[in-house]
Each structure stands twice: as C-alpha cells, then as structure tokens.
Amino acid sequence: MTNNVKFLLVDDLEENLVALEALLAREGLELHLARSGEDALELMLANDYALALLDVQMPGMDGFELAEIMRANERSRHIPIIFVTAGSGDAARRFRGYEAGAVDFIQKPIEADILRSKSNVFLDLYAQRQQITAQRDELATLSAALQAADQQKNRFLAVLAHELRNPLAVLAAGLSILERKRDPEVIGNVRTSMRQHLGHMTRLVDDLLDINRIEHGKISLRREKVLLADILPSALEVAVPAIESGNHTLAVKVPEQPILLDVDKARFIQMVSNVVGNAARYTPKGGRIEVTASGSGNSASIVVSDNGVGIPADQQSRIFELFEQSNAGMVVIGDGLGIGLALVKQLAELHGGTIRLVSSVPGEGSTFEIQLPTGNH
C-alpha cells in the first residue's frame, strides 16, 4: 500500500499531459492523468488528491464545468484547483475561474519554476492536513480511552464501596450481638461470620496491593519445589467460604503420580483460590465445581470448571483485564471488583505460566486452565 501524495492532471492533449508529468515528477508524488472531465471525475471517486491541475479549454466538459462539479461533490470539494490556460488572462475569465473554485492560474507556455513552486505549496499543505487529521484521530482515540478508563474507575469505586460496606456492616452487627448475647453457641457463630468477612476484606485489600506491586515491578517470587498434592488443599481451603455460601459441591481430581511444582507457595494458593472462588461466586446456589490437576513434562495444569452463569461471547476477550466483570445477569457474593482473574494472569505470567479461558457458554458454565512450570527441569 502506497502513502504517496497524489496530483491529478487533466488535459485533452496527450503531449501537454506528458510535459506536465515530466515537470512535476518526483519521488513520493503520484501523478494521475486524465484526458477529459469525465475521466477525471471517475478517478476522483477512487482517489484523494492534494491538487488538481485542470486545462481550461477542453472539448465537451471544459475546465470550469469540471471545477463546478468538483465543488458540488462532497468527496472532491476540498481538492485545490489550479487552472492551466493558453487563453487571455482578462479579469472576467479569472473571475469565472475563481468563482468555479480555482485557487490559482498558470499561463501557457508553462514556466517550470513557477509550476514547481506553486505545486510545492499544495504538497506541503496536504502533508500538514494529513498530519492534523492523524493527530485529531489520535486525540479522539485517546479521549475515548480516557472516558472508558474514567467510567471503569467510577464502576470500580462503586463496587469497592459495596464490597467494603457489606463486611463492615456484618462486623458492626456482630459487635452489637456480642455486647448483648451470652449464649456460647450464638457467640461462636457470630465470631465465625465475623472472621469470614474480615478475611474477605483482608484478601480484597491484599489483591489490590498485589496488583499495584506487580504493575510497578515490586513483587518477587519465592519459588520452591513443592508437591501439588500437598499445596492444593491449602488453596481450596481459602475458597471454602465462597463454596459453602453457595451450597456448592466441590469435586477434586489429582493423579496418583506426584506432580512437583516450581512455584511460590503463597502465590500458588492465591491463584487457585481466586479461580475457584470466582467459579463459586458466578455459579447459582447448589452448583458444581470441579478442580482437575494433571502434569506432563515441564508443565502442570490445574483446570477449574463450573456449571455457573458462563461468560457472554462479547466479554470473553476482556475477562483477564483489570476491573472487568461478567455481566451475566446475577448478583454475585464476594469479590465483584473484577481483579481476581487479572491478578491470576499476572501471577501466572510471573511464574512463566499462563491462564486461559478454555470454554464458556452462557447459562451452562465456564472452564479455566492454569498452567505452571514443574520442578522436573
């Protein structure tokens, strides 16, 4: 695809077109030739021109008529027109030319320096116009991105307020009950509920801090060799409150053959618990969540499947972006901030691994896969 600037040369005489072409030829300038007004109009339908040089005296449609048609057409009205004429330069003739849309006249025989000087002006003007257009488009893109970011920020703050207000309300209510009640069973239940909601708030703040640390390159991994079967239960334990809250069934499949991981234990727990917790939150009550582990060569796989609400097709490409949430039409319990999967993606990549959405069907559920390096290499 060429980025050359284009000039349109219109004259009914072949020798005049050849002469103009020879005088104007230069690198980066594309010259299109037309032998009639009709040919010129056809070319203008397919090309954007920086300048049109029109012969005034042509059989059929003359230069003035062609200019008038150009000015009446939205696509060609912006093209500067210089008339090339062998006729007299009387005021009436020039007035008609300017009225038809001309910006200048050149008399035949053509002086090469004058032609090049005048054409260079429009060459530069066209380049400046293209630059301004590109800058305008870039500004429009940036403005749209800023508006989207602002909307995303507002949504995030609204959800953050909700996410913090709910557990704070539970904690406040729990303190009030503890001050009034003496029943050990009631006190025990209240304390359990308070611990769960306090844990949720703590994890929420920790995830936010981790996102910030990763983005600023201030997080480091403490990798060690650990058996997947030894560490997976700890990750699932973190997600238990979300699973129990939804009255879900959890099925875990781990192969008998040991799988040795090379991971940061705390970050592994964080990744898996986020994905399992996410499945629990986006699955209607009484759902089923499956966690399947496997290993092959230098890679281990943890697959998390659910029979939840699924993710709409138009949102699937953005599901790992920060503060993105599925709008699948249900109220979720717990982390609605949309930071969980974004954090998992960044932590997996820090390990040299990946997370991907294997499949998702609205109303049927989703399957995610985390792949991490093993300690076999």
The CATH number of the domain holding residue 323 is: 3.30.565.10
Give a yes or no: residue 178 inside a domain: yes
d(CA 25, CA 22): 6
Quick one: pLDDT band at residue 156, thresholds 50, 70, 90?
A: low
| Strand runs labelled E in 137-248 | 223-227
**Cα–chain center distance at 289:** 31
Give a yes or no: residue 134 inside a domain: no
Q: Which amino acid is at 342?
A: A
Domain tally, the chain: 3
The verdict on 232 and 210 lying in the same domain is no
The verdict on 211 and 228 lying in the same domain is no
The verdict on 234 and 346 lying in the same domain is yes
Domain boundary among 168, 192, 215: 215
Q: What CATH number did the domain enclosing 192 receive?
A: 1.10.287.130
**What is the average pLDDT across 239-257?**
92
Is pLDDT of 69 > 90?
yes
Higher pLDDT, 152 or 288: 288
Closest CA to 277 of 315, 259, 304: 304
The verdict on 165 and 239 lying in the same domain is no
**Cα–chain center distance at 90:** 59
Give a yes or no: residue 118 inside a domain: no
Give a yes or no: residue 366 inside a domain: yes
In 3-state terms, what secondary structure has residue 214? helix
The verdict on 253 and 359 lying in the same domain is yes
The verdict on 240 and 159 lying in the same domain is no
Which residues does 266 contact at the CB level (< 8 Å), separation at least 6?
Answer: 222
The verdict on 202 and 316 lying in the same domain is no
Quick one: pLDDT band at residue 338, thresholds 50, 70, 90?
A: low
The verdict on 236 and 369 lying in the same domain is yes
Is pLDDT of 1 > 70?
no
Q: What CATH number did the domain enclosing 65 receive?
A: 3.40.50.2300
Domain boundary among 197, 215, 233: 215
Is pLDDT of 296 > 90?
no
Domain boundary among 155, 188, 215: 215
The verdict on 325 and 247 lying in the same domain is yes
The verdict on 86 and 41 lying in the same domain is yes
Is pLDDT of 322 > 70?
no
| pLDDT score, position 332 | 39
HSE value, Cβ hemisphere, 13 Å, CA-based, for 372: 32
The verdict on 232 and 163 lying in the same domain is no
Give a yes or no: residue 140 inside a domain: no
Q: Which two tokens stand for residue 84?
A: 């090339």
The verdict on 165 and 102 lying in the same domain is no
Give a yes or no: residue 281 inside a domain: yes
Domain containing residue 199? 147-215
d(CA 167, CA 341): 22
Give a yes or no: residue 137 inside a domain: no
| pLDDT score, position 87 | 66
Is pLDDT of 333 > 80?
no
Quick one: pLDDT band at residue 211, thresholds 50, 70, 90?
A: confident
Give a yes or no: residue 123 inside a domain: no
Closest CA to 315 of 282, 276, 349, 352: 282
d(CA 275, CA 207): 13
| pLDDT score, position 305 | 97
Q: Provide the phi-psi class of 285: left if phi over 0, else alpha when psi is between -120 and 50, else beta.
A: beta
Higher pLDDT, 331 or 243: 243
Which residues does 214 contact at the CB level (< 8 Å), separation at least 6?
Answer: 343, 346, 347, 350
Quick one: pLDDT band at residue 329, thresholds 50, 70, 90?
A: very low
